[in-house]
Structure 1
Amino acid sequence: MTAILLEDCPSGIPGFDEATGGFYRGQLVLVAGNAGSGKTTFAAKFIYEGAKRWGEPGLYISTGESKEEFYAYMARLGMDFKALEERGLFRYVLFPTPTSTDALMNLSKELVSNAMEIKAKRVVIDSITPFLTLSPPLEVRAMLHNALKTITRTLKATTVLTVEVPRGRESIGAEVEEFVCDALIKLTLVVPEAGAPYRMMRVLKLRGRPLSRVAYEYEIGPPFGIRVLPTSLLEELESKISRLDRVPTGVKGLDEMLGGGLIRGTVVLIEGPPGSGKTLLALLIAAENSARGLETAYVSFEEPRQQLEETLRFLGYKPERLEKLSISSISPRALTLRGIYNVAEALHTLDRRVDLMILDGLTALSREFGSAFAQVMREIAFSAKRRGCTLIVTMISGLAVLNTIADTLIRLRVKEEEGELRRELAVVKMRMYSPEPKYRELKLVGNKLVVT
């Protein structure tokens, strides 16, 4: 038996091919999604990049949007389809919504005719939802599939079909199409009860490609049109971290427990109940290291900046004199999942390399975004390590993923003894060092934190 050689057909969508491997030539791709999820933009980007970058003629069949509307909207996203049309690399056909099998037969003929005429290598039908309501359903599907087979076999054209998924419904509902397609991609515009909307892509099927992940966040906007946001696997990071390169905390007794301080370029999780001293400890570490000349960025997701500055004054520091320390306070409700990552990335600029980054109050983000927040934290941790930046995060109770990616775990607790509250601290784990697994008292002596 002769082996079939599969020819790559990159989508051209930034981030998608890197994450999934892309499509193969002649495959049938079903893109499903709710209103506003970006189905049309995904399909348009696939056609546009194929024509512009690889000279592959594209045919776009629409059942709802005029060519003028399509061109105008895509131009705002950085795609000049008019220029491609003038070069003979693109054709847009508006077909009235079919109301009978006769109308669908005419569409099938027009689809094949146009594809053959321009020798299309990429075809889009946006969308097939109106066809799925026609009767008899088996006859309708047979017509559509026969037309697509003709295009695929004759031209080896890769075809993208879009289908609408009502908001709130998990199943796609395209039935047969889900089984005959080579790739199945579901786009979702997520509108949470609290927080800003965001978009998630699930690659449910991609024939010929091993899928290590299914879910990806993506965004739509100029000049890229649509792009899949990068993911980072901490397990693949070849770190140059040295256990001898330390960042002192400045807390008497704690550096001794840590064997000389935090290890530079690692991830540190400080967790404990309310009132246990997480913010106090994090602020002191920030102030001490900025005073030593380290570029330090402190971001709180719970407390206002003015309150943090007052706490610094209480600890004996003058915020205005800590030139290497930047403090900001951001409400979780003002962020998307990707916005959290962007905040952390924005702290690194061309003229400023952050040595120490502290993200205080991650509990608020966890409440806002749920389990999806964990993946963003993995990416932030990877980015910090790649830059050699020491990352400290605080929260009431660590997410499982944070416990996993944290190189050092410092746990605080509050105990009541004879009617008095006593704060205690333990270094639960520390990679590249074996701390003593024992709680010691954390207390204020004057205006300084000490561990005894």
Structure 2
Amino acid sequence: MIRSIDSCPTGVHGLDELLQGGFPKNSTILLIGHPGAGKTTFAAKFIYEGARKYGEKGLYISLYEPKYNFFKNMKKLGMDFEELEKKGLFKYINILPAAERDFIELFTNIYMNIIKTFRPSRLVIDSVTPILEVLGNEEARSFFRAVLFQKVPKYEITKIIVADLPYGEETIHLGGIEFVADGVIVMKTRISRGLITRWMEIRKMRGRAIPMGEIPFSISENVGIRILAPPRPETVPAPSLETIYFTGCKPLDEAIGGIPRGAQVLLIHPPGFRAYTELFTANLSTFLRNRLRILTITYSLPEKILWQAVMQITRTLNIDEEEIKKLIAIRSINPSAHSIHEMMAQVWSFVNEFKPDVLVLHGLR
């Protein structure tokens, strides 16, 4: 994606496409979420990718996590902040919160001084919840407007302000700062089938059309945040009647007239019926004769078993084994180990990788 001059890319693959390039440049984004929802990982990714990809200095001010823990945890997610620090592209400040109002003065002095001396392009404050606890809603609103949300003259800084959402709560009293922010993102979690499902809601983003209400994502090692929403096509193309593929099963072909290119076919069968191998046997010679690339994704069998069935079938077709492996790909997904959004993302990843003409989803029971 080509970077727009008025955008600040988030660095989260898939999200920048949804936001037409990223956050508005020089904006302040309020990031709210339950504990464990991924707020720190998201904010860290924003800083890390800005420095790594665009050479933009990033400043991370934490009111919770010591620097050593932050560096260690983020490195597991593929973000080496120690390397960025050595290059002068990153600075981490840990300010321990206190109940006294002196803490607010200390925070303000450190905040203003580090901006003037380090001159960051990206800034994260994680989190402002201790400030809210010291000041209360009304005073906090004045503080945020005067300090955190104020555009600093001569500096263009895109900021993420993190706030904690207690478990079981859907809203948080922020003294109205959500109205001052240029963008508001809420990160949430829920348990489904014993698995953690994460998603974000973009409640507000000035100058951006929001195409989705809920955006599913995952947190994984060496990647960090990964958006799981598949691309949204503008239109659903109709099957092409100009190209018809016949199954090789004469009664079936006579009944349905073959399968148009681009058609979606659902095969339902009784338990125990070896429908996959029977149908695959009938279709494989036709697919291969037309040099169609076939991707099979199975949710119930190991890849090895399906490859054995394929090789048995292709021995009678007089096609080189290496050629078969160029035309056929088989992938296996364990549905009990992934959320529905993760499985959808895996399917899309396999399709992008292999670019098939024929996609077979096996074992969708």
Question: Could you state the TM-score of these two structures normalised by the residue count of structure 2?
Answer: 0.79
Counterpart contact for 2:63–2:96, Cα < 8 Å = yes
Contact 1:250 1:284 in 2 (8 A): no
Could you tell me which residue of structure 1 aligns to residue 177 of structure 2? 177
* Structure 2 spans left out of the alignment, 5+ residues: 315-323
Q: Is the 8 A contact 2:60 2:93 kept in 1?
A: yes
Check whether the contact 2:230–2:344 (CA below 8 A) recurs between aligned residues: no
The equivalent position to 2:246 in structure 1, one of 241, 245, 248, is: 248
Change (3 A) 1:39 1:284: same
Q: Which has the higher contact order (CA 8 A, sep 6+)?
A: 2
C-alpha spacing 1:333/1:157, structure 2 compared with 1 (3 Å): same
CA-to-aligned-CA distance 1:324-362 (integer Å, 9 cap, x gap): 788887653222224423553576697x77554332454
Count of aligned pairs:
341
Instruction: Determine if the alignment matches structure 1 residue 214 to structure 2 residue 178.
Output: no
What 5-or-longer segments of structure 1 have no aligned partner?
Answer: 1-5, 310-317, 365-452
Instruction: Report SS of the residue matched to 1:191.
Output: strand
Answer yes or no: is the 8 Å Cα contact 2:149–2:180 preserved in 1: no
- Distance change (3 Å), C-alpha of 1:269 and 1:69: same
Measure how far apart 1:196 and its partner are.
2.9
Q: What letter is aligned with 1:357?
A: L
Flag the 1:348–1:147 CA change in 2: closer, same or farther, 3 A: closer
Distance 2:256 2:236 in 1: 24
Cα drift, residue 188 of structure 1: 2.2
Which residue identity does 2:260 align to in structure 1?
I
What pairs with 1:87-236 in structure 2 (closer than 5 Å)?
87-192=87-192, 194-229=193-228, 231-236=230-235
Name 1:266's counterpart in structure 2.
263
Q: 1:372-397, CA deviations, whole angstroms, 9 ceiling, x for partnerless residues?
A: xxxxxxxxxxxxxxxxxxxxxxxxxx
CA contact (8 A) 1:165 1:173 kept: no
Larger deviation, residues 330-339 vs 44-53: 330-339
What letter corresponds to residue 337 of structure 1 in structure 2?
A: I
In the alignment, is the contact (CA less than 8 A) between 2:228 and 2:342 conserved in 1? no
* Aligned partner (choices 321, 327, 346) of residue 312 of structure 2: 321
- Structure 1 residues 283 and 174: CA distance shift in structure 2, 3 A: farther
CA distance, structure 1, for counterparts of residue 49 and residue 350 of structure 2: 33
How far apart are 1:299 and its partner, in Å? 5.0
CA offsets 1:28-84 (integer angstroms, 9 cap, x no match):
101112222211111112122223333322221101111111122222222222233
**Residues 304 and 40 of structure 1: is their aligned pair in 2 closer, same or farther, counting only changes over 3 Å?**
closer
TM-aligned CA deviation for residue 246 of structure 1: 2.0
**Aligned-residue CA RMSD in angstroms?**
3.4
SS in 1 for 2:234: helix
Contact 2:138–2:175 (CA under 8 A) maintained in structure 1: no
Contact 1:195 1:336 in 2 (8 A): no
Structure with the greater alpha carbon radius of gyration: 1
Q: 2:337 aligns with which of 334, 338, 346?
A: 334
Higher mean C-alpha displacement, 123-132 vs 225-234:
225-234
What amino acid sits opposite 1:242 in the alignment? S
Structure 1 position 81 matched with structure 2 position 81:
yes
Counterpart of 2:360 (choices 358, 361, 366) is 358
Q: Which moved more, 1:34-43 or 1:151-160?
A: 151-160
Question: In the alignment, which residue of structure 1 is the partner of 2:318?
Answer: none
Distance 1:146 1:112, change over 3 A: same
Question: In 2, are the aligned partners of 1:190 and 1:198 still within 8 Å (CA)?
Answer: yes
